[in-house]
Amino acid sequence: MNPASDLASALASTLSSSPAVDAPSSPRIDDLLARMTLAEKIGQLGQVQPQGRSHEAAVRDGAVGSLINVIGEDARHYQRLAVEESRLGIPLLFGRDVIHGFRTVFPIPLAQAASFDPDLVREAAAAAAREAAAEGVNWTFSPMLDIARDPRWGRIAESFGEDPVLAAAMGAAMVEGYQQQGLAACAKHFVGYGAAEGGRDYAQAHIPERVLHDIYLPPFRAALEAGSLTLMTAFHDLDGVPLTGHRALVRGLLRERWGYQGLVVSDWNSVIEMIVHGCAEDEAEATRRALAASVDMEMASEAYAHTLVRLVEDGRVPLAQVDEAVRRVLHVKERLGLFDAAPGSASPAADAPVPDAAASQALARRLARDSLVLLHNDGVLPLPFDALSRVALIGPMADAAVDQLGCWVFDGDPARSTTVRQALVDRLGADRLLVAPGLPHPRSDDKSGIDDAVAAARAADVAVLCLGEDALLSGEAHSRAHLGLPGAQLALLEAVARTGRPTIVVVLSGRPLVLTDALPHAGALLQAWHPGSQTGPALVDVLGGQSPSGRLPVSLPRSVGQVPIHYNHHRTGRPPLDDAPSIPSGTPLDPSGFYSSYLDEDHRPLFPFGHGLHYGEVVYGDIEPASATVSRGQSLNFSLTLHNRGAHAVVETAQLYVRDVCASVTRPVRELKAFARVPLAPGERRQVTFRLHTDQLAFHGPDLAPVVEPGRHELWIGPDCTRGAHARFDVSA
């Protein structure tokens, strides 16, 4: 199949305005559709946010298909009106951003990706779904599948990072977890939203078509294959076309090529924002564009409600386009079982047994623990808590019950939050803990508390500094141009480190920060992200001896000038010398050769994708076979033995990377293809086998068609994207 010509033909067919795809049908859907008035049909295509009970009449009239941000008793009330008092009794969808938990808050999605553990992520999504469904929510706007290569972008916190294979695995797991528990998932934001220029939210994106297909689209494909009932279009424009009116990508690629029959919803106001983009004259044109692209439901704004009756009556929008959209909305309602819910119930899932808060908390603790990435350790960790007389706990994030939850937390119960301070009091007793925030707030420049922090460090055996970003510094429309520790945090760290006490720095943040200046002062550096409700217990587990196992789902830059940064960049004709830094920071500007590097900065990240230490010492054996040949369409097994020579039990995340040595287009230096979390007791050896299918080597070739090209491939299995045992294989024609 040739995507380029597919896109062209998709475009041609949609320009003729006739719906070219089958929309779902069932006896119930067919029957309803036959009985609905045009106004009732259009009603199904609207999602609005009521103020309290403001939309009772609209719901009774069948003039609305979904409500956003209505939960609890209000949801039950509106559902009763829809089912019992509207003419056709069609139930409502209740949408809500359940992004990383509901009452119990799990780590932000970026942190969840750092666990490299899709099974645990699935479990967490299922737990969140149970809590949300109990409050009447039946549709979550998650997972966010946007590949993020630019940490300035605030929504990197909601992403699974820079790698398509990791993001696909995490996204699919979340979809499964939500939907197992009766919550419709929503794959968002289709597509390329993370490529916003300059990391500035909502800004234009330019993604070459090959990169779009090889990098940005696969996580969406995986989420849809996992059964995501819905998908959301993005706010931005891709090469000049706002995604909410992108016929070629939404109707053409998603519907016609991929055969997706789920419900496509716009983002908040993104239909009418096409007017602000300057791509639609007025609401009527915005409606036409969005519906022609097959955006079934409009979120928040009401252009469909205002203009569609007229557009259909005038023949400017074919009724068939409205009908197909209505079918998709009804289909989701049917799939969720809403038509068969008990009277007065928002959905069948709402009637499941009340979720067990303690079980969710335990899961949140596990996931938070497994998301922590130990970046550096000179041996100060783990801490022998019982042997320490006093611990100094310093920093503005040490007792931040709300900020530790991270962005997009509408429903988190602060009473379920345990901070690091509380968890250390529980572990050590208040007498052995000296608490000194140092700064009143993470962004504060007020240095008057630093002396107290220094005094606390001097009076203790060890200093634990909880630094980073408050929750408001990441998330939607929260981009940053500077990526250092905010406020006077670096001064605080330097002052504490000067005491000579062993210093452990824990970074709680919604994005990778530039930690280049912090690193030299840290005996140990732990990237904790925003770990959620169980931040304190999870950190104390790891500080006290449970080995960390998280790995970086993103490259950590040395300086803002390196971004956008990602490990899987293309090979250049003038690569930087293999093992040498380009030019270390701070050297005079003296070009040393014509290489792809910086004059004033090392070209490599501070820490690479996949990096993460633990308390063991794992040695990778040789890969078997060391070389092999595989025919297209076949699989190959690669095995090796991991040996934990250390004294601690660990989980080693082994990662398999491939490089296509010579292809018809330039290919990435390395690409992650598979990963496995391998538990290893002290001294244990364990054989690990990866199965690699040649389909996993496919990319979009010169004519933009997917292809697996014959030829030599290099393969590594290792602890991050820069190291590992090496093998080769050939793909034969």
Q: Minimum distance from CB of 181 to ligand BGC (Å)?
A: 19
Residue choice 256, 273, 476, 652 for contact with ligand BGC (CB under 6 A): 476
DSSP letters, 351-364, are: GSPPP-HHHHHHHH
As a whole number of angstroms, the distance between CA 111 and CA 511 comes to: 9
Q: Minimum distance from CB of 48 to ligand BGC (Å)?
A: 12
403 is catalytic: no
Q: Pick the catalytic residue: 267, 370, 602, 660?
A: 267
Angular region, 300: left φ>0, alpha ψ -120 to 50, beta rest: left
Q: Minimum distance from CB of 446 to ligand BGC (Å)?
A: 33
Q: Does 411 bind ligand BGC (CB under 6 A)?
A: no
**35 DSSP 8-state letter:** H
Of the candidates 693, 606, 682, 613, the residue with the CA atom closest to the CA atom of residue 656: 693
Q: Minimum distance from CB of 189 to ligand BGC (Å)?
A: 6
Q: Does 236 bind ligand BGC (CB under 6 A)?
A: no
**Sheet of 650-660, strands arranged across:** 627-631, 725-732, 711-718, 650-660, 671-680
Closer to ligand BGC at the Cβ: 183 or 434?
183
Q: How far apart are the first and last CA of the chain?
A: 19
Residue-wise burial string across 12-28, b where 16 or more C-beta atoms lie within 10 A, e elsewhere: ebbeebebbbebbeeee
As a whole number of angstroms, the distance between CA 525 and CA 527 comes to: 7
Of the candidates 265, 258, 205, 202, the residue with the CA atom closest to the CA atom of residue 235: 202
Closer to ligand BGC at the Cβ: 113 or 186?
186
CB-closest chain residue to ligand BGC = 141
- Residue 250, phi then psi, degrees to nearest 5: -85, -65
Query: What residues numbered 188-207 form the site for ligand BGC, per CB under 6 A?
Result: 188
DSSP letters, 441-481, are: STT---GGGHHHHHHHHHTSSEEEEEEE--GGGSSTT---S
The 3-state secondary structure of 61-96, one letter per residue: CCCCCEEECCCCHHHHHHHHHHHHHCCCCCCCEEEE
Q: Minimum distance from CB of 320 to ligand BGC (Å)?
A: 29
As a whole number of angstroms, the distance between CA 447 and CA 441 comes to: 11
Q: Minimum distance from CB of 188 to ligand BGC (Å)?
A: 6
Q: Minimum distance from CB of 268 to ligand BGC (Å)?
A: 4
Residue choice 117, 150, 267, 469 for contact with ligand BGC (CB under 6 A): 267
Closer to ligand BGC at the Cβ: 144 or 217?
144
Q: Minimum distance from CB of 101 to ligand BGC (Å)?
A: 15
# binding residues, ligand BGC (CB under 6 A)? 6
Q: Minimum distance from CB of 196 to ligand BGC (Å)?
A: 12
As a whole number of angstroms, the distance between CA 614 and CA 609 comes to: 16
Query: What residues numbered 127-146 form the site for ligand BGC, per CB under 6 A?
Result: 141
Closer to ligand BGC at the Cβ: 66 or 655?
66
As a whole number of angstroms, the distance between CA 362 and CA 367 comes to: 9
Provide the total of helices (H) and of strands (E) in the chain, helices listed first.
Answer: 19, 26
Residues in contact with 241: Cβ distance below 8 Å, sequence separation at least 6, in sequence order: 248, 249, 279
The mark string for 78-107 relative to ligand BGC (x by CB under 6 A, - otherwise) is -------------------x----------
Closer to ligand BGC at the Cβ: 188 or 366?
188
Of the candidates 98, 107, 108, 149, the residue with the CA atom closest to the CA atom of residue 128: 98
The tokens describing 71, both together, are 């939960």
Q: Are strands 66-68 and 93-96 parallel, antiparallel or unpaired?
A: parallel
For residue 687, the SS3 value is: strand
Q: Minimum distance from CB of 69 to ligand BGC (Å)?
A: 7
- The CA–CA distances, whole Å, from 489 to 251, 424, 437, 482, 639 equal 49, 22, 10, 14, 46
Closer to ligand BGC at the Cβ: 263 or 463?
263
Query: What residues numbered 172-191 form the site for ligand BGC, per CB under 6 A?
Result: 188
Q: Does 268 bind ligand BGC (CB under 6 A)?
A: yes
As a whole number of angstroms, the distance between CA 415 and CA 714 comes to: 51
The mark string for 627-646 relative to ligand BGC (x by CB under 6 A, - otherwise) is --------------------
565 Cα distance to chain centroid: 17
Of the candidates 225, 168, 234, the residue with the CA atom closest to the CA atom of residue 195: 234
Q: In the complex, which residues of this chain contact ligand BGC (CB under 6 A)? A: 97, 141, 188, 267-268, 476
As annotated, the active-site residues are 267
